[in-house]
Amino acid sequence: RVKRARSTNPPSEVDRLSSLPDCLILQVFLNLPTKDVVKTSVLSTRWTTLWKDVPGLDLDTEDFNIHETFVSFVDNFLERNRGLSIHRFKLTYDSSYAEEPGLVNRWVDTAARLKVEHLDLSDVVCDQDLMMNPTVYTCSSLVSLRLVGMSLPSPERVSLPFLKDIVLIVVEYTNRWALEKLISQCPVLENVSIDRIYGDGMPILRVRSQSLLSFMHYWDKNDDYEKDRIVEIDAPMLKYLRISDGGTTSFIIKNQPSLVEADIETVFNLTNERRLQVANEIQKRDMVRDFLVGISKVKDLTIASSTLEVIYDYARYVQLPVFRNLYTLCVRFNSYMLEMLPVFLEVCPNLKTLVVVRII
């Protein structure tokens, strides 16, 4: 009996992706940039027009040689989905084009009417010339909001019952209370990340939320040390706190019984010279003490050398709180600052793991 040789070429039926139903393929496409999704149209006759049914857009103006083609593509996407709902609307655009602000706000308004769930807009210029459409404050379908390089208007009304994630990068605020109002009126908000710029119009930021689980605050160093900037956090459910800030004068941490992990890098807007000058100021000493009390229930702490140096200086005047729940400590510093570490370790009686990361 003659045995037939077994083929080394995989049979067509092994193409598992093609065998999936359209609904699952669309879910896969939904997690890819739109330019890559369009390319799949040449892989199969079945996929020739399937990309048009993806309920989301992830588009970058730099992928188009002609700006008008980019505009037309976005318009066609929104027109195809008229009467439907869209999962994601993500655009990276260039506001230097004269008509761009009006275009983007028109697109946002349409996306809101199409009940968009995830809105992600980035201006490659990042000059805050574009004023975001106030419609975003009342887009009741929104689950996540990410804005880069634009201005946020003051909200007259906020209705975002499903919004869980907010990411704001180099955004300018036309009203100093705009962000506070936005955060406080999102009933299921869980994650907020803010990467700020100097002169963003918000000298005082109050983060008040009964649902917030994670808060990240970034601010690069600058030379304007005379202006007081304050961040106040009142979020009893907060579990993760990340601060990388060279410009904020005062951090006020209230009501943090649930804090599990923190990553702190701040000198409270002090240069080395000013640190020596104000070491005896009661108000500044009390602020540092209260900040440490606010994070003293944390279990996992990462701390920068600059912050450790501030703690070391003020420990001469202020009794440090005890970090009884702290089990893991990671310290990032230069070798010459090693002598500062024992001062902080004395108030960590239950510490089990110490990680020292040297900065070169």
Would you tell me how many other CB atoms lie within 10 Å of the CB of residue 58? Answer: 21
111/234 Cα distance (integer angstroms) = 33
Q: In this model, does residue 136 exceed pLDDT 80?
A: yes
Give the residue with greater pLDDT, 245 vs 42: 245
What is the model's pLDDT at position 13?
44
Q: In this model, does residue 8 exceed pLDDT 60?
A: no
What is the model's pLDDT at position 47?
75
Helix axes 100-113, 67-80, angle to 10 degrees: 20
What is the model's pLDDT at position 335?
62
CA dihedral 7, 10, 14, 16 (to 10 degrees): 170
Rounded alpha-carbon distances, angstroms, from residue 221 to 40, 232, 241, 269, 295? 45, 19, 19, 8, 23
Q: In this model, does residue 29 exceed pLDDT 80?
A: yes
The pLDDT confidence band at residue 222, using thresholds 50, 70 and 90, is: low
Q: In this model, does residue 129 exceed pLDDT 80?
A: no
pLDDT one-digit tens code per residue, 296-342: 999 999 999 889 988 888 888 888 999 999 999 999 876 667 788 89
The pLDDT confidence band at residue 347, using thresholds 50, 70 and 90, is: very high
CA dihedral 282, 283, 285, 291 (to 10 degrees): 150
Least confident residue range of 27-31, 81-85, 172-176: 27-31
- Contact between residue 152 and residue 121 where contact means Cβ atoms under 8 Å apart: no
| Paired strand residues for 12 | none
Instruction: Spell out the domain ranges in the chain.
Output: 17-54, 55-202
The mean pLDDT of 113-121, rounded to a whole number, is 97
